[in-house]
């Protein structure tokens, strides 16, 4: 068996893992990063790349302020008693420090955005600026390593190029200037002939690719080794302390001694059917997840084998998803649900939720509903917006549907005909159509309050009045596709303390073992306070773990 000695072993190569690696290196550590697959970036690379950081220094550029007290009040109102107040305080205290350190010492850069907290009705919430979007970067800075970074999720690519969150908002909602944004992006993409000859991917990296790309350039500059195709086999434990790990690299077993600690940041278990069935509430299916297929809970199991306690294992980052037969993962309906004239109904043809609420809230309500639900819309919405797997008709007319779309999307010239294809109650569906016509005229959703909060309206169509989230289903043909309780990762995992140190079943720290990201039990509990609530804590507690392991005060 081959062997190697390091100070810190980081398992995973997403944003949380790479933040930990950078931090440990800058504290004087000899660091090794291992990645299970043949590509860097994990789920982070396929994500929106945003991070939720209260009290961040970037909001001052917009004349905005925040306080730790308001952030704690908001988190407690969202999360309740599922997470200790000490851990919430540790997040609010360390998140701004992590951000400032990364911006000062690495290539990682963000901009503060007017993206409202998801639960703006809760005390301490803000109507924007806690969510940060990664600054785009050029793939050129990664050189040949760019082709070893995991591509974005298929739904984050429009015509071959990626866009920022702010650009996406303007395009989705048809805000002023959206056509000019599209024109500039398409022209720059098409004219980049040298890149087109190498790849269909855009040289301009946004979202999760920008975040991971910036993390990677920072890692490469520090000459921190990253082993790809190097899955974790097990942890090595001696007298209650984790001292290293057994790793399989290029089909050879390697004994890695980690003198100061092992940091687990290997994602969730959403692609492990057995673990989903055991822990997540039903119905559940790996096919409903929108994440890469490598997240199978390997680090969870390794940690449990050395005595780590696992908590929140019934929780996930939920989202309404649609799966086309040809796709390798689901597409989560992140934004289009808030657009006017797009509704979700049950088997009775009735709405039962606020479609414009956060995708986590909508996903959880779908999850609690055991029968298939449907997204419905009419020709007006179809022509104007991108909805699930469908681009607007000007880009993607019905006549160009492939067999994969035809297998999922239903279409009829009448509401009754659509109901028949969906297998739902026709009278109930017609009653829903009548209701939303009434609500669209008054601007008040009397059933579920769609469009009543700042978050609801964020992705509404500003050209539609009196409510940017409501419009009638009036123009044939009518469309529908099934929607499922999907996810963008599980959030249950290793129970950790304020230092991201793993805890055993007695609540005592396990020496030398740390966890962050979806390998750890989420600091956000069973809720989703704002965009970036996954990656913000992943990076923050990766930073905290590295400092603690290296014996550096944060």
Give me the residue label for tokens 């398992």: 11
For 271-309, write each residue's pLDDT tens digit.
Answer: 999 999 999 998 899 999 999 899 999 999 999 999 999
Residue 156 confidence (pLDDT) = 61
The percent of residues above 90 in pLDDT, for the chain, comes to: 86
Over 80: is that where the pLDDT of 175 sits?
no
Query: What is the tally of helices (H) and strands (E) in the chain?
Result: 17, 21
- pLDDT, mean of residues 509-516: 98
Over 90: is that where the pLDDT of 30 sits?
yes
Q: How sure is the predictor about 251, in pLDDT bands with cuts at 50, 70 and 90? A: confident
For 328-385, write each residue's pLDDT tens digit.
Answer: 899 999 999 999 999 999 999 999 999 999 999 999 999 988 889 999 999 999 999 9
Q: 2: part of which helix (H) or strand (E)?
A: strand 2-11
Over 80: is that where the pLDDT of 145 sits?
yes
Residue 554 confidence (pLDDT) = 62
Report the 10 Å Cβ neighbour count for 441.
12
Alpha helix positions (H), 229-315: 273-279, 298-305
Domain topology for 1-315+491-554: FAD/NAD(P)-binding domain (3.50.50)
Instruction: Report the alpha-carbon distance of residue 19 to residue 100 in Å, rounded.
Output: 12
- pLDDT, mean of residues 203-224: 95
Residue 99 confidence (pLDDT) = 98
- pLDDT, mean of residues 305-331: 95
Report the 10 Å Cβ neighbour count for 263.
36
In this prediction the pTM is: 0.94
CA-nearest of 522, 515, 554, 519 to 537 is 522
Where are the chain's structural domains?
1-315+491-554, 319-486
For 256-265, write each residue's pLDDT tens digit.
Answer: 999 999 999 9
Dihedral of the alpha carbons of 38, 517, 43, 358, in degrees to the nearest 10 = 170
Evaluate whether the domain defined by 319-486 bears CATH number 3.20.19.10: no
Residue 197 confidence (pLDDT) = 60
- Which residues face 32 on adjacent strands? 9
CA-nearest of 185, 180, 137, 192 to 157 is 185
Residue 157 confidence (pLDDT) = 59
Helix/strand/coil (H, E, C) string of 55-78? Answer: CCHHHHHHCCCCCHHHHHHHHHHH
Residue 189 confidence (pLDDT) = 72
Over 90: is that where the pLDDT of 169 sits?
no
Beta 2-11 vs 252-264: how paired, if at all? Answer: parallel
CB 475 within 8 A of CB 469: no
Instruction: Report the alpha-carbon distance of residue 241 to residue 279 in Å, rounded.
Output: 27
Give φ, ψ of 485 to 5 degrees: -75, 80
Residue 171 confidence (pLDDT) = 75
Residue 195 confidence (pLDDT) = 67
Over 90: is that where the pLDDT of 179 sits?
no
Residue 67 confidence (pLDDT) = 98
Over 80: is that where the pLDDT of 501 sits?
yes
Mean pLDDT of the chain: 94
Residue 395 confidence (pLDDT) = 81
User: Which pair of structure tokens corresponds to residue 60?
Assistant: 């001052």
Over 80: is that where the pLDDT of 190 sits?
no
Residue 417 confidence (pLDDT) = 98
């Amino acid at each position: 068996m081959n062997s190697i000695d390091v100070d810190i072993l980081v398992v995973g190569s997403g944003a949380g893992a790479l933040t930990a690696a950078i931090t440990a290196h800058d504290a004087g550590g000899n660091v090794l990063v291992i990645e299970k697959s043949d590509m860097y970036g994990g789920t982070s690379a396929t994500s929106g790349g945003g991070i939720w950081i209260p009290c961040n220094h970037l909001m001052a550029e917009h004349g905005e302020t925040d306080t730790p007290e308001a952030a704690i009040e908001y988190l407690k109102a969202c999360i309740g008693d599922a997470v200790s107040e000490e851990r919430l305080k540790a997040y609010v205290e360390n998140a701004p420090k992590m951000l400032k350190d990364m911006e000062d010492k690495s290539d990682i850069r963000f901009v503060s955005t007017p993206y409202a907290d998801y639960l703006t009705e809760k005390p301490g919430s803000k109507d924007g600026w806690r969510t940060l979007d990664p600054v785009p970067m050029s793939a050129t800075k990664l050189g040949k390593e760019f082709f070893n970074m995991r591509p974005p999720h298929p739904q984050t690519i429009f015509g071959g190029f990626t866009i920022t969150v702010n650009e996406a908002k303007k395009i989705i909602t048809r805000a002023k200037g959206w056509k000019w944004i599209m024109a500039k992006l398409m022209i720059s993409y098409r004219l980049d002939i040298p890149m087109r000859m190498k790849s269909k991917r855009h040289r301009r990296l946004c979202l999760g690719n920008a975040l991971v790309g910036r993390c990677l350039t920072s890692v490469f500059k520090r000459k921190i080794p990253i082993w790809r195709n190097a899955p974790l086999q097990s942890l090595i434990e001696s007298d209650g302390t984790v001292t290293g790990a057994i790793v399989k690299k290029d089909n050879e077993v390697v004994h890695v001694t980690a003198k100061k600690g092992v940091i687990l940041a290997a994602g969730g278990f959403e692609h492990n059917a057995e673990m989903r069935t055991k822990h997540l509430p039903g119905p559940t299916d790996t096919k409903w997840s929108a994440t890469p297929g490598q997240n199978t809970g390997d680090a969870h199991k390794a940690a449990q084998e050395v005595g780590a306690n696992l908590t929140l294992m019934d929780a996930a980052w939920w989202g309404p998803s649609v799966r086309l037969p040809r796709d390798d993962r689901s597409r989560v309906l992140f934004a289009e649900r808030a657009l006017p004239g797009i509704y979700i109904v049950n088997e009775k043809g009735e709405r039962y939720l606020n479609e414009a609420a956060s995708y986590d809230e909508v996903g959880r309500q779908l999850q609690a509903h055991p029968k298939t639900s449907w997204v419905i819309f009419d020709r007006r919405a179809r022509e104007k917006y991108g909805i699930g797997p469908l681009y607007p008709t000007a880009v993607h007319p019905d006549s160009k549907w492939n067999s994969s779309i035809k297998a999922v999307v239903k279409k009829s010239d009448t509401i009754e005909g659509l109901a028949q294809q969906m297998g739902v109650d026709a009278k109930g569906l017609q009653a829903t159509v009548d209701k939303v016509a009434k609500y669209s005229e008054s601007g008040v959703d009397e059933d579920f309050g769609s469009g009543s909060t700042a978050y609801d309206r964020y992705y509404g169509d500003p050209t539609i009045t009196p409510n940017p989230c409501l419009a009638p289903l009036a123009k044939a043909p009518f469309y529908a596709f099934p929607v499922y309780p999907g996810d963008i990762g599980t959030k249950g995992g290793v129970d950790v303390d304020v230092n991201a140190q793993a805890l055993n079943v007695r609540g005592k720290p396990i020496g030398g073992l740390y966890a962050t990201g979806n390998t750890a039990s989420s600091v956000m509990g069973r809720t989703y306070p704002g965009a970036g609530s996954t990656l913000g804590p992943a990076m923050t507690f990766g930073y905290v773990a590295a400092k603690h392991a290296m014996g550096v005060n944060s």
